Copies of this chain bind each other. A is one copy, B any other.
Amino acid sequence: MAKAGKKKSAGKKTSAARKKASSRGSTNKPKNAFYAQSGGVTAVINASACGVIETARKHKSKIGKVYAGRNGIIGALTEDLIDTSKESTKAIAALRHTPAGAFGSCRYKLKSLEENRAEYERLIEVFEAHDIGYFFYNGGGDSADTCLKVSQLSETMGYPIQAIHVPKTVDNDLPVTDNCPGFGSVAKYIAVSIREAGFDVASMATTSTKVFVMEVMGRHAGWIAAAGGLAAEKAGDAPQIILFPELTFEREKFLKRVDQVVKKHGFCAIVVSEGIRNPDGKFVADAGTKDAFGHTQLGGVAPVIAQMIKDELGYKYHWAVADYLQRSARHIASKVDVEQAYAVGKAAVQFALQGHNAVMPAIERKAHKPYRWGVGMADLNKVANVEKKMPRGFVTKDGFAITEKCRRYLQPLVKGEDYPPYKEGLPQYVELKNVAAKKKLRRFDVKV
């Protein structure tokens, strides 16, 4: 009866009634936690999940169950909660070496309280029904915004909750933190891949392929493209050219450089960010290419660049688009990245236990070489909706390479290998049981 009553009245409770109900519930029983993954996944976001869950399990007197949202915040809204206590110690430990989002991620940003009050009411309803007092949200800039809004629920709606953001993004564009978990592994993948492909094209260049173009992620920020530059340790090494999204693509200047490089080194390996734009501001990838039916072809920028080189300079080319391969490549993850991803998950729980709200664990760099780092605390207000751009001083004057300053920043982030276990030649990634917690509330639909 109490449950049924709750179902019906939850949406209409006053702040005062909620505080009372909440304090009534908070006897000795520890509050449960909610954890969810948000936005594009990475090779190490599950390592953060592992850090959160393992640390929470060590503090059972303070944190009850960890419920994971199935597909991020959507799981909270739809009351689709995964009871992680059903997973074995071994399965949770295996998250550390498993790429992508074990609980499902989502691309869904909460609107403001004014715009969609019903969603916030629903979140509180779900949190209350499952006695959730901790909210851990694992994502990038947009997710930090969602987390910040949730952190304000105590104030705005009178529901006591501590919301901690766990940083994750391959784009490396979160502010305050020195770098973002997820980026180091993409960086390593890109640097390793262009080095290997560079060796390949160098072998073939005399009689065949002279130009290799590799497209990488990063629509707005060139951090991932910059990482390709780590592969070039001396003159002539691949990649000889990097195209950054921060700089306008200058066709003639670029083609001239390609020609110079081929003439000097015999081949040219190019890393190009998916986000480069022509002087008119349009993406180079949308260079008017149409398919047989006249539809605009949603192609990559790599084939466009490659074809341009063929048309203008006549060089035989190959091109690659790594796409999801780059961000899911747990097999070549950076050890530093895995450790940091785990550490921010762990720190998030520790911050919660210390009573913090609206904060985010941030990586602090203590020394470049040998690299030393720690985890500090960032105010979520300073993180949400702020994009960290790559400094212009990280790109050489001519715009085609990274500077020593950039290299000094990037190098530590790709350090160390952290190989997953293999069986019969293939990496063994865990698939959780993902048992749903029993629903207690009415259905709530989310338009995705």
Contact = CB atoms under 8 A, between A and B. Distances in A.
A207 B107 contact: yes
A298 B291 contact: no
A74 B205 CA distance: 13
Interface stretch (A19-27, A186-194, A342-350): A186-194
A104 interface: yes
Given A105-B204, A411-B425, A429-B195, A292 B289 contact: yes
A372 to B, nearest CB: 15
A398 interface: no
Contacts of A206: 71, 74, 104, 106, 448
Given A289-B291, A297-B303, A320 B318 contact: no
A108 interface: yes
Interface of A: 37, 40-41, 43, 71-72, 74, 98-102, 104-108, 188, 191-193, 195-197, 199-208, 212, 214, 230-231, 287-293, 295, 297-300, 302-304, 306-307, 310-311, 318-325, 327-332, 334, 336, 411, 413-417, 419, 422, 424-427, 429, 448
Given A320-B325, A323-B318, A324-B200, A334 B107 contact: no
B426 A191 contact: yes
B448 A426 contact: no
Nearest to A188: B425
B325 A323 contact: no
Contacts of A208: 106-107
A207 B106 contact: yes
A108 B207 contact: yes
B200 A99 contact: yes
A133 B411 CA distance: 48
Contact of A200 (B72, B207, B327): B327
B324 A212 contact: yes
B299 A303 contact: yes
Contacts of A98: 199
Contacts of A291: 287-289, 304, 307
9 contacts: A40-B204, A101-B204, A104-B205, A105-B203, A199-B328, A200-B324, A320-B325, A336-B425, A416-B422
A3 to B, nearest CB: 28
Contacts of A212: 324
Given A105-B203, A322-B322, A425-B415, A196 B289 contact: no
A262 to B, nearest CB: 15
